[in-house]
Structure 1
Amino acid sequence: MLLDNAREPLRSTSRPEALNRRRHAKLSRAPQIAPVSVVLSLYSLSLFIFHQLGYLATTTLAAACGTAIFLVAGFYAAFRLTLHTRFTDPTMTSPQIIAVVLLMLVVAYLERATQPALVPFILIAFSFGMFRQSTRMLILHAAGCLLCYLGIILVRGQKEQYGAAFEADLLQWFVLSLSLPGMILLGKQVQNLRQLLSATRYQLEHYEEKSVRDDLTGLYNRRHIKSELEQARLQANAENVPFCLCVIDIDRFKEINDNNGHLAGDTILKEFSKVASNSIRDSDMLGRYGGDEFLLLLKNTDLKGAVMHAERLRVYAHFLDFQKVLTQKHISLSIGVAQYRPGEKIEDLMSRADSALYQAKQLGRNRVEWLES
């Protein structure tokens, strides 16, 4: 079998890829603080309108808006400093909902005139949570919100001798107590739909992956490898980057099947496929073209590099031990290599690589031959 250090090391992450990851991390913070920022922005706007109409004191408006800004800045700092990773829910949806609801309840307690805005904005806050939280957590939040709101109503009602305003407050609380369960049920339906979509997407990805794989070896099949060759051709023409194609054939495979049986042949195909897959870079692609013939696409590689890689693969295959299934113990490979010529068709490239393979067989097999680009 192969030594671990014989495998070609993978390329390190490039600087553009690292920059893209950092840029993605910055952009991902915006959706995470969206619940608190959107709800508080709209709520602050409604408070400003109440103030302009004379229903809200300037000091209360200033305190509420200042608290809203502080909350948004605090959550942004938590994401910026990666403090959110310490929570079970990295999106910190629960703390955001709790902070927003508590602020609105305090303002409603201080200024009864703002209560018409309380129910819709609490529902808006919960609407963000229903996409990210479990039904159990939403129920806990709803129960806490209703209890706090009821406590505010009872405390204020006691001070005001339970007058008509108290009855109006209870009516609004009753409306909220009916609305929140409806919101939770809607959230449950949304979560079920998302789970169904996720399962469907997983199945589609599974079937798509299976459709491009060879059943026996697990390598890419003929149709997919030809599609990748066409993509490499387009990239080479557009960006002037080289790539090479290796046509690999297991020597005297028909004789192996005749002398040892098809099960032995299948074992050889699977073991070789595994070793060959482990010897290539992530950017390269190996596929089974048919029978005992394989295609190896080497991207960003010139002819010299491709020949070296093919020779290394030939040596790897020779050291595979098939004593349990073969009489001769080892196998050998014949490999033909060709570099893509700008403007040519994939069929022409494959024909040249196949000609190089034929030349390798004519010269005695167990060798690598190539055609100059």
Structure 2
Amino acid sequence: MGFTDVWANWRARRRMRFENTDAFPMSEELNELDVSTFSHHSELGVALVLKQRLNRPRTRVVPVLLCLLYLACALAFYALGVVDFSTVVVVAGLIAVLVVSFMGLFYAGLHERFADRQMRLPIVVGASSALLLVFYLEPVTQIALTPFLFVVMAYGLFTLSRDMALAVCVGILVGYGAIAGLHYGRDENAALLRLEVLHMVALALALPAYVLLMGRVRTLHRLLQKKSSEMKSITESSRQDALAGCLNRRAILAALEEQKQLADESGIPLCMAVVDLDHFKRINDEMGHLEGDEVLRTFSKLGQNAVRTDDFFGRYGGEEFLVIFPATPLLPALNTCERIRVQIESHDWDNPWLKGKVTVSVGVTQYVLGETALEFFARADAAMYLAKQGGRNQVVVQEPVGAGAAANDEEAQGPAHGYF
């Protein structure tokens, strides 16, 4: 597979194209709902997401890059003859201590005991303290102090509360004033002392204003996150079948179109199964519609547990469900369908009103390159009806016929009409 094919696969996996065709009319769903952001996997909890953010390499690399940037600034000062080499050594030592300390926490997993806000605060305080220490040792570095203080405060933009950020800001200003006082006591250069006072006035005016503006940005960011979460919840609800708890008709057909397109572009195998509950009308008559709904929910749960993570399981309508097997030849799909059948048959339904076992009839087939989604579905549906006619509670394979059958597995060339 060349680079073009890899690029096409990458784009196809992130693109969802689905039209309201005559083959699959979506009368059961609201057509205006957008499923272009369809995702088969469930969303992680907020707390887990925050912890994973700290585990991302980018989260650890950014502070290190900022430290190296400040070291480069110190080296530039040394190259210009403004500071002594000892100052560069101190800067390098402080960076080494900070980086080793926090990286040690990350790699030891100790950061997982704390919230994201609790981890960012010591980083901001530690970096600010290091900047002030270098300023104390070499007053001329105040030129770099102000911009890097703003960078450090920006690092904690979305995690530090406004009060916490203001407290850090006050601490920085107090520290700066104390260091300026120490420099005055040492009778430093008068022009440099005046420059320190001017810098302190500028910091005292700009830094709190910056923190307040950061708070506004943080508020807008959180509002955006809230709205985004609400939109995800709405989108997720529009994809989920309210009764069965699996993908609904619209979502499963969208997944079918997506996987069909991917198979056409890359040539990877694709299989689909139609699963139908046997004698569901009789079950409703014996148990009542409420208990019949519970049977549907339980079946859906068992079916979703039986398929793989990358497979798609959804309700097509009534007691009929679809299972889509991406990048899967016929034999593995057949084995999964048989696993579903066995689990449904052997499940203890624990209902005295239920007479006999709950079973399913399954039809499974493999996609033929270039065929329509309707033709693909019709072949799987025909196999399911063959299973019904053959006595139910069985899996029937409908072999794809034609030159585009994608070299079906020789192992899967067994019985052309049935698997029991």
TM tier, shorter chain?
0.7 to 0.9
Deviation of the 1:76 alpha carbon? 4.4
Q: Root-mean-square deviation (CA), in Å?
A: 3.2
Show the 5 A alignment for 1:74-89: 74-78=97-101, 81=104, 82-83=106-107, 85-87=109-111, 88=114
Change (3 A) 1:202 1:37: farther
Pair 1:217-2:248 in alignment = no
Tell me the SS of whatever aligns to 1:235.
helix
Contact 2:269 2:329 (8 Å CA) reproduced: yes
Q: In structure 1, what residue type is equivalent to 2:164?
A: M
Contact 1:33 1:75 (8 Å CA) reproduced: no
Change (3 A) 1:324 1:123: same
Deviation of the 1:133 alpha carbon? 2.6
Deviation of the 1:75 alpha carbon? 4.3
In the other structure, the counterpart of 1:367 is 394
Pair 1:242-2:266 in alignment = no
Change (3 A) 1:109 1:355: closer
Contact 1:43 1:121 (8 Å CA) reproduced: no
C-alpha separation between the residues in 2 aligned to 1:296 and 1:143?
A: 60
Q: Mark the structure with the bigger radius of gyration.
A: 1
Deviation of the 1:204 alpha carbon? 1.6
In the other structure, the counterpart of 2:161 is 134
Show the 5 A alignment for 1:288-303: 288-303=315-330
In the other structure, the counterpart of 1:7 is none
Instruction: For structure 1, list consecutive stretches of 5 or more residues without a partner in the other structure.
Output: 1-20
In the other structure, the counterpart of 1:65 is 88
Contact 1:336 1:353 (8 Å CA) reproduced: yes
Deviation of the 1:262 alpha carbon? 1.6
**Residue from 51, 60, 81 that aligns with 1:29:** 60
Contact 1:277 1:286 (8 Å CA) reproduced: yes
Pair 1:307-2:334 in alignment = yes
Show the 5 A alignment for 1:319-330: 319-322=346-349, 324=351, 326-330=353-357
Tell me the SS of whatever aligns to 2:370.
coil
Contact 2:272 2:325 (8 Å CA) reproduced: yes
Change (3 A) 1:291 1:371: same
Deviation of the 1:285 alpha carbon? 1.3
Contact 1:247 1:335 (8 Å CA) reproduced: yes
Tell me the SS of whatever aligns to 2:242.
coil
Tell me the SS of whatever aligns to 1:33.
helix
Change (3 A) 1:163 1:80: closer
Q: In structure 2, what residue type is equivalent to 1:154?
A: G
In the other structure, the counterpart of 1:267 is 294
Q: In structure 2, what residue type is equivalent to 1:262?
A: H
- 1:85-137 deviation line (CA, Å, top 9, x unaligned): 43546796445444543444345445545545543443333232324433343
Identity of aligned residues (%): 31
Contact 1:248 1:295 (8 Å CA) reproduced: yes
Pair 1:198-2:221 in alignment = no
C-alpha separation between the residues in 2 aligned to 1:239 and 1:329?
A: 45
In the other structure, the counterpart of 1:277 is 304
C-alpha separation between the residues in 2 aligned to 1:84 and 1:185?
A: 35
**Residue from 335, 338, 341 that aligns with 2:365:** 338
- TM-score scaled to structure 1, two decimals? 0.79
C-alpha separation between the residues in 2 aligned to 1:340 and 1:369?
A: 15
Change (3 A) 1:371 1:113: closer
C-alpha separation between the residues in 2 aligned to 1:271 and 1:48?
A: 72
If each structure's helix is expressed as a fraction of its own residues, which one has the higher value?
Answer: 1
Contact 1:336 1:370 (8 Å CA) reproduced: yes
C-alpha separation between the residues in 2 aligned to 1:90 and 1:78?
A: 17
Deviation of the 1:286 alpha carbon? 0.9
Deviation of the 1:164 alpha carbon? 8.7
Pair 1:208-2:235 in alignment = yes
C-alpha separation between the residues in 2 aligned to 1:75 and 1:287?
A: 51
C-alpha separation between the residues in 2 aligned to 1:297 and 1:76?
A: 48
- 1:148-206 deviation line (CA, Å, top 9, x unaligned): 22222223334449989766644542332232221221222222122112212211221
- 1:67-97 deviation line (CA, Å, top 9, x unaligned): 3334444444456554574354679644544
- TM-score scaled to structure 2, two decimals? 0.71
Q: In structure 1, what residue type is equivalent to 2:132?
A: L
Contact 1:322 1:329 (8 Å CA) reproduced: no
C-alpha separation between the residues in 1 aligned to 2:342 and 2:183?
A: 86
Contact 1:323 1:330 (8 Å CA) reproduced: no
Count of residue pairs the alignment pairs up? 343
In the other structure, the counterpart of 1:17 is none
Show the 5 A alignment for 1:353-364: 353-364=380-391
Contact 2:87 2:137 (8 Å CA) reproduced: no
Change (3 A) 1:325 1:247: farther
